[in-house]
Amino acid sequence: MPTIATDGIAEDKIRHPTKKLTISEEVAIEMVAVHKWYGEFHVLKDINLTVNAGERIVICGPSGSGKSTLIRCINRLEEHQKGKIVVDGVELTSNLKNVEIIRSEVGIVFQQFNLFPHLTVLENCSLAPIWVRKMRKAEAEEIAMKYLERVRIPEQAAKYPGQLSGGQQQRVAIARSLCMNPRIMLFDEPTSALDPEMIKEVLDVMVELAESGMTMLCVTHEMGFATAVANRVIFMDFGEIIEQNEPHNFFNNPQSERTKLFLSQILHH
Amino acid sequence: MSDTAKTYKIGQHPDLPPPRTEVGVLGWFKHKLFSTPLNIALTLLAAWFLWSVIPPLFEWIVLDSVWTAESRKECWGKMEVPEGGACWAFIKDRLELFIYGFYPAPQRWRVNLSFVLLIMAIVPVLYDKMLARKFGLWYSVAFPFIAGWLLVGGFGLTPVETDQFGGIMLTLIIGVTGISFSLPIGVLLALGRRSKMPVLRIVCVMFIEFIRGVPLIALLFIASTMLNYFLPPGTVFDLLLRVLIMVTLFSSAYIAEVVRGGLQAIPNGQFEAADSLGLTYVKAHLLIILPQALKISIPGIVNTFIGLFKDTTLVLIIGMLDPLGIGRASLADAVWAGLAREVYLFIALFFFICCFSMSRYSLYLERKLHTGH
Ligand SMILES: Nc1ncnc2c1ncn2[C@@H]1O[C@H](COP(=O)(O)OP(=O)(O)OP(=O)(O)O)[C@@H](O)[C@H]1O
Ligand SMILES: [Mg+2]
CATH number at residue B201: 1.10.3720.10
Residue B62 lies in a domain: no
Residue B79 lies in a domain: no
The residue type at B41: A
**Would an 8 Å CB–CB cutoff place B42 in contact with chain A?**
no
Q: Is residue A78's pLDDT more than 90?
A: yes
> What separation in angstroms does the CA of A217 have from each of A37, A229, B219, B276, B307?
22, 11, 58, 15, 53
Ligand 1 atom index nearest CA of A41: 5
From B284's Cα to the closest Cα of chain A, the distance in A is 10
d(CA A59, CA A62) in angstroms, rounded, equals 10
Range of the domain at B41: 20-57
d(CA A216, CA A219) in angstroms, rounded, equals 10
Nearest to B372 among A107, A117, A176 (CB): A117
pLDDT band at A69 (very low <50, low <70, confident <90, very high): very high
d(CA B373, CA B370) in angstroms, rounded, equals 8
d(CA A232, CA A261) in angstroms, rounded, equals 19
Each of the 373 residues of chain B gets a pLDDT tens digit; together they read: 445 567 788 888 888 888 877 777 888 888 888 888 898 999 999 999 999 999 999 998 888 888 888 888 888 888 888 888 889 999 998 999 999 999 999 999 999 999 999 999 998 888 888 788 888 899 999 999 999 999 998 888 888 988 899 999 999 999 999 999 999 999 999 999 999 999 999 999 999 999 999 999 999 988 888 777 777 777 777 889 989 999 999 999 999 999 999 999 999 999 999 999 999 999 999 999 999 999 999 999 999 999 999 999 999 988 899 999 999 988 998 888 888 999 999 999 999 999 999 999 999 988 888 876 5
Q: Using a CB-CB distance cutoff of 8 angstroms, which residues of chain A are in contact with residue B273?
A: 110, 114-116
Which residue from B minimizes the CA distance to A130? B279
* Same domain assignment for residues B170 and B223: yes
Residue B229 lies in a domain: yes
* Same domain assignment for residues B34 and B104: no
Nearest-10 Cα torsion for B268, B274, B280, B281: -30
* Same domain assignment for residues B164 and B48: no
d(CA A261, CA A62) in angstroms, rounded, equals 10
A23-63 tens-digit pLDDT: 677 899 999 999 999 999 999 999 999 999 999 999 999 99
d(CA B371, CA A117) in angstroms, rounded, equals 7
pLDDT band at A22 (very low <50, low <70, confident <90, very high): low
Average pLDDT estimate for A82-97: 90
Nearest C-alpha to atom 18 of ligand 1 is from which residue? A66
* Same domain assignment for residues B301 and B184: yes
**Would an 8 Å CB–CB cutoff place B197 in contact with chain A?**
no
Helices (H), B127-267: 133-152, 167-193, 198-213, 216-221, 227-230, 239-264
d(CA B22, CA A269) in angstroms, rounded, equals 50
Average pLDDT estimate for A181-199: 93
Query: Which segment of A155-164, A190-199, B25-34, B53-62 scores lowest on mean pLDDT?
Result: B25-34
Among the bound ligands, the one closest to the CA of B272: 1
Q: Is residue A245's pLDDT more than 50?
A: yes
Q: What is the structure's pLDDT at A20?
A: 52
Average pLDDT estimate for A1-12: 45
Count CB-CB contacts under 10 A for residue B371.
Answer: 17
Residue B71 lies in a domain: no
User: Does residue A14 or residue A238 have the better pLDDT?
Assistant: A238
User: Does residue A140 or residue A13 have the better pLDDT?
Assistant: A140
- What single-letter DSSP state applies at residue B154? B
Task: Report the number of secondary-structure helices (H) and strands (E) in chain B.
Answer: 17, 0
Residue B9 lies in a domain: no
The answer to whether residues B150 and B114 touch, using CB atoms and an 8 Å cutoff, is yes
The answer to whether residues B79 and B143 touch, using CB atoms and an 8 Å cutoff, is no
* Same domain assignment for residues B141 and B190: yes
Nearest to B272 among A77, A163, A180 (CB): A77
* Same domain assignment for residues B165 and B24: no
Q: What is the structure's pLDDT at A5?
A: 46
Count CB-CB contacts under 10 A for residue B12.
Answer: 7
* Same domain assignment for residues B186 and B281: yes
Nearest C-alpha to atom 26 of ligand 1 is from which residue? A63
d(CA B346, CA B67) in angstroms, rounded, equals 14
Backbone angles phi, psi at B217, to 5 degrees: -60, -40
d(CA A91, CA A98) in angstroms, rounded, equals 7
Query: CA quadruple B118, B119, B120, B123: dihedral positive or negative?
Result: positive
* Same domain assignment for residues B50 and B173: no
* Same domain assignment for residues B45 and B102: no
Q: What is the structure's pLDDT at A15?
A: 45
Residue B64 lies in a domain: no
What residues line ligand 1, using a CB cutoff of 6 Å?
A: A 38, 41, 43, 61, 63-69
Residue B81 lies in a domain: no
Q: Using a CB-CB distance cutoff of 8 angstroms, which residues of chain B are in contact with residue A118?
A: 291-292, 295, 369, 371
What pTM does this model have?
A: 0.86
Nearest to B293 by CA among B266, B318, B270, B273: B266
Q: How many domains does the structure of chain B reveal?
A: 2
Nearest to B118 by CA among B158, B60, B168, B67: B168
* Same domain assignment for residues B197 and B305: yes
Query: How far, in Å, from the CA of A67 to the mean position of ligand 1?
Result: 8
**Would an 8 Å CB–CB cutoff place B12 in contact with chain A?**
no
Give, to the nearest 10 degrees, the angle between helix B88-100 and helix B323-331: 130
Average pLDDT estimate for A75-104: 91
Mark which of B30, B57, B84 sits at the end of a domain: B57
Which residue from B minimizes the CA distance to A165? B373
d(CA A180, CA A126) in angstroms, rounded, equals 9
Q: Using a CB-CB distance cutoff of 8 angstroms, which residues of chain A are in contact with residue B274?
A: 116
Residue B27 lies in a domain: yes
* Same domain assignment for residues B51 and B101: no
* Same domain assignment for residues B344 and B249: yes
Side-chain-side CA neighbours of residue B174 (13 Å):
34
d(CA B110, CA B158) in angstroms, rounded, equals 10
Contact A131 B291 (CB under 8 A): no
